[in-house]
Structures are given as C-alpha cells and as structure tokens.
Structure 1
Amino acid sequence: MVHFVGAGSGAVDLITVRGKNLVDHADVVIYAGSLVNPEILNTCKKGCEIYNSATMTLEEVIKVMEESEKAGKSLVRLHTGDPSLYGAIREQMDLLEEKNIAYDICPGVSSFCGAAAALKAEYTLPDVSQSVVITRMEGRTPVPEKEKIKMWAKHQSTMVIFLSMGLLGQLQEQLMEGGYDKETPAAIVYKATWPEEKVFHCTVSTIEKTAEENNITKTALVVVGKVLNSSYARSKLYDPGFTTEFRKGKE
C-alpha cells in the first residue's frame, strides 16, 4: 500500500494525527526534501528506508514504490502542505493504477492556511470577499490563458499566490492590469508556520520592492486583497436577529 500524506505547512506538529501514525509505522518514506520539514522523519521506525524525492525523477519514485509493493512493505509518499495543491500526485496515482498498486491519501494543512494564521487574517470577510483564489504565476510550468493572474484579478477576490517569488515584477503588473488598485493591501509570508516564519505587509505596487528589501527569494506566498485591511459587515451567523437551525433570532 502507498499512502500519500500531507506533511503540513512546516511546523512539525501540524502534520495530522493520521499522517504521523502512517509515517511512524512506514517501512519506506519518500519525502519532498526541498520543502518538507525533515524533523518529521525523526519518529520513523528503526530500519525505515528514507528517500529524498528532490533528487529523484518520477520514474525513480515509482520504481521504489513498485519494489516496496513487491516486498509487502508500507510506503509513505510525504508531500508538503496538502498533496492536492501543487503536489504532482495525479501522475503518480495514474501510474500506480496502471500497475495495480493500491494507494490512499491523507490530507494535510496547506501553507495558504498557515499564511492566514501568520497574518491573523480571515480570507472570507462579509461584504469584502467570499472567495479565495489559489493560483500561481506562469513560469516554466504553463498556466491556461483564462487563469492568468490578470484574469483572476478582475474578480477582486482574496488571492493567495504560490510559486511566484522569482516573478514579482510581472506579478505586480498583472494584478494592477487586472484591476487591483496599486494601494490594495498585500503581504508576503515567508516559510509560514516554520520557526523562521516572517511576515511583510505591503501593497500591490510594492510587492517586488518589499521582497528585495528583505531578501526573500523563495519559499514564500503572496496574499492580496482588501481582507488584509478593510472594514467589513458583521457575520449573520452570530447576529442576535438571525434565525438558524439551532437558534431563534430575537426581534
């Protein structure tokens, strides 16, 4: 059996209980060494085979999975954050299905959640934004034309932008071209939930400058939207006059 496990956003104790149990009992672990906190591996059982996928190709990863399956071993494929976001797990699962190797998925805490915690922010404020766009700039990995940053910016929703630290100048331009005012609040969150976490508040027009001034070149998210600094309407859910399934509103 292959278990795809979300390691969480960085802090060792943000892996789920289920995920930790799978890691602790695994015979083999393949972890995303460029992003997963290696301290999570400290509780692996004695004799566990550990591979760093940062130095491996897809074919090499699948070969280890095949060999483990033939040997009757339990294997954990440990991804950063939640495997469903930029985890490249679909191509692995498709190959496992072709080879009739069983697998399952254990979700994890994504760094976009960790960033919100670091910012002490709520991404969905009444009358401000009720949607969150999770996206990235186009780099070596292409982005569909309809999903380019300037297209999402037209919605004026909260945006959390992954994998784009090397393209911040272009990011600023696309955000403003799409409709964000240059003074729209933004923030850079470096290594959310890690011990070295840092938060830098800025505006849409100063994202690149802020990163340069603080020497932030990778392992960071950009958050954009008025939820970072805006008045908002009170939630209806806890309004005394609002009736719910569990409480009758007061007139």
Structure 2
Amino acid sequence: MTVHFVGAGPGAADLLTVRATRLLATADLVLYPGTYLDPEVLAHCGPRARLVDTQGLDLDEITEFLVAASRAGERVVRLTSGDPSLYSALHEQTARLTAAGVAWQVTPGVPAYAAAAARVGNELTVPLVAQSVVLTRTRARSTAMGAGESLAEFAATGATLVLHLAITRTGELMEELAPIVGADCPVVVVHRASQPEELVLRGTVGTIAPLVAEAGLRQAAVILVGRALEAGDAGESYLYSADRERGAGRATEVGC
C-alpha cells in the first residue's frame, strides 16, 4: 500500500484540499503533528481510523508505524503541518520508506506563510518594491544552515523575508536585520494562522520584539519582514497594464 504524505494546511479544517479530505476519510491509520494541528482537521478522518500523535515520537518510531501499517495492507496518511515541501522532514521519512520498499506519494497543502499573508491582506511581491520571497529559518537548537544561507545575505537582496521556526529569537534577529533593512521596515507576526488561537502582531524591525515577548509566543508563528507589507503607492504590474500589447481576443464570460 502507498503511504500518503498530506499537507494539513495552516490549521483551519476547511483549508485542506479536496484530495486531502478524501484521503483522510478513507485512511485506516493517520499520523499527525499534534503540536501544530487544529484538532478540527481530524474531523475529516473516518470513524474507524486509528490516530497517532507524532509529537512525542522520533523519525524511526514514526517510520515503524508507517511501514508496519503499509505492509499490513492499511491505508496510511502522514499529515504534515502546512505544506510538505517546507520543514516537514519529508526527505528523511521518504528515504526510510524507500529503503524499506514502501511506496509513497505527496499531496500538497496550504503553507502557513500563505495563510499568514492572506490573513493580513498582503501580497508579498509588490511591483517596484519586492519581486522575490525568501523562505528561511534560523539556527538555534536545529540543523545547521547551509553555506551562504545567512539571514544578512538574504535581507540584502531586498526580498520579502518569511522566517519559520524563529519566533523565540525575534529580538536578536531584528537586531541583525536593522542595519540592513532599517529599523522602520515593516514586520508582521502571525501566530497559528487560521486557527482559533490566531494572533496577529504588526510592528517594525525596531518595535516587534517587545510585542512578541509580551504575547508570550514560543512556537507556531511566522514572521514576515519587508517593505512589501506596507507598500503604499507602489508600482503596478505590467501584466495587466493598458500599455501592454495584447492579443486580438476580448474578455468573455463563461458560465459554470
């Protein structure tokens, strides 16, 4: 049987894909990250599904569940928070399954940073302000960063920064960013985007750290940094410009 890695989205039970809900409804075993997941997401599971919270398990223990259930002919879903392409340990888990001869597939989900941007109504790529987004994290008690992946180098590009797994280091990170992007650079912190406990903090590189400390945030938060967050009278996209040469066709309405 195939093990399905499924993006559970940022938390809200109605932000899963249709494919994800169908897989959950027919799964015999569902492994889920209890630290980050809104329990309402599990309401998509069938009544007979076995549910395993992985927050207290290591990768080898998780793999044992996946392999044993698959070999027993069970339908298995491994939920990840957000989208499996970001900080989900997908690589490590799929490598173990491949070595064990177990087939697997990936179903994408809504990433937390996209839910955070939607919550505050911001486009992260604004014409003439920022046309790139850097998704990154910082190193504390975690895997070492690759060569050339310093926050300072990313910030110097002028791209909008999305910082994952960094909320406990907000103060020192803002101190590092201030000389590069300016203390007045806009910052938005979204804690548990789309979940009942959602909290949004707005500030600047110079002011956001005390707000985070006062709120007592320790996990499940995304930090957005960049001028695109308060672009004001920025440029407009050439894609829809009246000056752009277009084909002869006219806009048409198509009924559903």
Instruction: Report the TM-score, using the length of structure 1 for normalisation.
Output: 0.94
Q: Are 1:8 and 1:110, in contact at CA under 8 Å, matched by a contact in 2?
A: yes
For residues 202-230 of structure 1, the C-alpha deviation after alignment (integer angstroms, 9 at most, x for no partner) is: 01112211212333232211111011112
Match of 1:240 among 232, 239, 242: 242
* Letter of the structure 2 residue corresponding to residue 41 of structure 1: L
Task: Give the superposed CA RMSD.
Answer: 1.4
% same residue: 35
What is the DSSP-based 3-state SS (H/G/I as helix, E as strand, rest coil) of the residue aligned with 2:55? helix
2:254 paired residue number = none
* Letter of the structure 2 residue corresponding to residue 237 of structure 1: L
* Letter of the structure 2 residue corresponding to residue 200 of structure 1: L
What is the DSSP-based 3-state SS (H/G/I as helix, E as strand, rest coil) of the residue aligned with 1:160? strand
2:4 paired residue number = 3
What is the DSSP-based 3-state SS (H/G/I as helix, E as strand, rest coil) of the residue aligned with 1:54? coil
* Letter of the structure 2 residue corresponding to residue 187 of structure 1: V
Looking at structure 2, the residues matched to 204 and 77 of structure 1 have their Cα atoms a distance apart, in angstroms, of 37
For residues 56-104 of structure 1, the C-alpha deviation after alignment (integer angstroms, 9 at most, x for no partner) is: 1111111111111221111000000001100001011011111110100
Q: Are 1:138 and 1:148, in contact at CA under 8 Å, matched by a contact in 2?
A: no
1:40 paired residue number = 41
Looking at structure 2, the residues matched to 108 and 99 of structure 1 have their Cα atoms a distance apart, in angstroms, of 26
Offset, 1:194: 1.1
Looking at structure 2, the residues matched to 136 and 43 of structure 1 have their Cα atoms a distance apart, in angstroms, of 31
Match of 2:151 among 141, 149, 152: 149
Looking at structure 1, the residues matched to 167 and 65 of structure 2 have their Cα atoms a distance apart, in angstroms, of 32
2:32 paired residue number = 31
1:169 paired residue number = 171
Looking at structure 2, the residues matched to 118 and 48 of structure 1 have their Cα atoms a distance apart, in angstroms, of 32
1:180 paired residue number = 181
Offset, 1:245: 4.8
Looking at structure 2, the residues matched to 244 and 129 of structure 1 have their Cα atoms a distance apart, in angstroms, of 25
What is the DSSP-based 3-state SS (H/G/I as helix, E as strand, rest coil) of the residue aligned with 1:156? coil
> Which 5+ residue runs of structure 2 have no aligned equivalent?
251-256
| 234-243 or 120-129: bigger deviation | 234-243
Aligned residues: 247
> Which 5+ residue runs of structure 1 have no aligned equivalent?
none
For residues 97-136 of structure 1, the C-alpha deviation after alignment (integer angstroms, 9 at most, x for no partner) is: 1111010000000000001011100000100000000111
Offset, 1:247: 5.6
Q: Are 2:191 and 2:220, in contact at CA under 8 Å, matched by a contact in 1?
A: yes
Q: Are 1:237 and 1:244, in contact at CA under 8 Å, matched by a contact in 2?
A: no
Looking at structure 1, the residues matched to 162 and 26 of structure 2 have their Cα atoms a distance apart, in angstroms, of 34
For residues 162-208 of structure 1, the C-alpha deviation after alignment (integer angstroms, 9 at most, x for no partner) is: 1111111211122124x111111111111111122221110111221
Looking at structure 2, the residues matched to 101 and 21 of structure 1 have their Cα atoms a distance apart, in angstroms, of 21
Question: Cα distance 1:99–1:172, how it changes in 2: closer, same or farther (>3 A)?
Answer: same
For residues 6-51 of structure 1, the C-alpha deviation after alignment (integer angstroms, 9 at most, x for no partner) is: 0001110001000010011001101111112221112322321111
1:194 aligns with 2:195: yes
2:15 paired residue number = 14
Looking at structure 2, the residues matched to 45 and 185 of structure 1 have their Cα atoms a distance apart, in angstroms, of 44
Q: What are the equivalent positions in structure 2 for 1:103-142 lying under 5 Å apart?
A: 103-141=104-142, 142=144
Instruction: Report the TM-score, using the length of structure 2 for normalisation.
Output: 0.92
Offset, 1:244: 3.5
